[in-house]
Amino acid sequence: MCLYIKPTSRERDYSKSFISFFSIHLSGSMSSTKLGCLLLIFFSATLISHTTSRFLPKSSSYESHEQWMARYGRVYRDVEEKEQRSKIFQENIKYIESSNSVMNKGYKLAINAFADLTNEEFTSTRNRFKAHECSPSTFSFRYENVTAVPSSMDWRKKGAVTPIKDQGQCGCCWAFSAVAAMEGITQLKTGKLVSLSEQELVDCDTSGQDQGCEGGLMDDAFDFILSNKGLTTESNYPYKGVDGTCNNNEESNHAATITGHEDVPANSESALLKAVASQPISVAIDASGSDFQFYSSGVFTGACGTELDHGVTAVGYGTSADGTKYWLVKNSWGTSWGQEGYIMMQRDVDAKEGLCGIAMMASYPTA
């Protein structure tokens, strides 16, 4: 049984020219049967080569993008946008495959829900942490005198971490980071894990640096929660992913409170270790690279700077099977990103700021 691939008109013209050439130059030196066999073999190989190069990569690329669209429910406005996104999708695939081909790299990248976005598009809508001046050296750090910490910590296993959430295309990472830290200290104080409202911060905490989807910072979120005398639950004030008008009725329906907040001494992973051993901690990182966009598994050791642009929550630490120390970080990009929404970031690096600046601006609520 043979597979017939219909040739194009160009390929048919090419075959006619080829047959004519061989008929003129070789007919006198070999039998028609041998000539026919030679022509058949050569033309078949040429046709398959031309057809394969013309169809398979394009078809494969098209099909992979179609499959990705179906999986993530992506719909485009028109054909032009679809073609543009398909090109970006293919470029991202090439980047991921190139990165994963590097030997002895301890982490892997993978296609996820953000595969049709350029890195600039991705970071501009999600990474809106507003860096600020470091606190003076005279501030209080309640874990300063901690002398012994466990070799590993995972606050998820202790019931102090709510399921992964998804901020969508709203740049309120700061709200998710602050809320996750508050959910943790509330559980440690009361024994009850309650999912609290990021949307309340997005809608109501707008008088200072925090500006909803346009960005903010965790310390200011803690200040708002303190002055507001608490925060309501996510079920009372559900997340919408857009800036809205403050719902004063729900805002006053407090489900959890804090007594204040403190900063972890800057540029000290040892101080951060003491803090994370004691409770989930809000941290800021530089998450601007493509490796971060497509991180999938392993201990992240990739190149990144210290231009802090994203708020996340350190919910543990440990050591991998190959001896690499890491921070366990909860993100707010949904479960399709990373390790079901989490990332392990290399710990105890040479730079005092920590990998991606994780030790530069850490803070936590008190209760």
- Whole-angstrom CA distances from 234 to 238, 263, 312 are 5, 26, 18
Among 24, 13, 18, 21, CA closest to 41? 18
User: Does the domain made of 109-366 have the CATH classification 3.30.9.10?
Assistant: no
CB atoms within 10 A of CB 177: 32
- Whole-angstrom CA distances from 118 to 47, 67, 92, 130 are 37, 19, 8, 22
Residues labelled as active-site residues: 173, 310, 331
pLDDT of residue 125: 66
- Residue 4 class from Cβ within 10 Å (0-12 exposed, 13-18 middle, 19+ buried)? exposed
**Highest mean pLDDT of the ranges 54-68, 239-253, 312-326:** 312-326
Q: Is the pLDDT of residue 31 over 60?
A: no
Between 214 and 59, name the one with better pLDDT: 214
CA distance 346 to 358: 10
Identify the bridge partners of residue 81 per DSSP, sorted by sequence position: none
pLDDT of residue 352: 97
N- to C-terminal Cα separation, the chain = 75
CA distance 281 to 314: 5
3-class DSSP state of 62: helix
pLDDT of residue 140: 87
Mean pLDDT of the region 201-220: 90
Q: Are 285 and 250 in contact (CB under 8 A)?
A: no
Mean pLDDT of the region 111-135: 73
Question: What tokens were used for 143?
Answer: 């874990």
- Whole-angstrom CA distances from 178 to 72, 126, 198, 339 are 28, 15, 9, 21
Q: Is the pLDDT of residue 207 over 80?
A: yes
Q: Are 184 and 160 in contact (CB under 8 A)?
A: yes
CA distance 302 to 294: 12
For 131-174, what is each residue's pLDDT tens digit? 554 444 447 899 999 999 999 999 999 999 999 999 998 999 99
Q: Is the pLDDT of residue 106 over 60?
A: yes
Mean pLDDT of the region 48-54: 35
Per-residue pLDDT band for 282 (boundaries 50, 70, 90) equals: very high
Q: Is the pLDDT of residue 3 over 60?
A: no
Residue spans of the domains in the chain: they are: 34-105, 109-366
3-class DSSP state of 148: coil
Per-residue pLDDT band for 61 (boundaries 50, 70, 90) equals: low
Q: Which of 55-69, 209-223, 260-274 has the lowest mean pLDDT?
A: 55-69
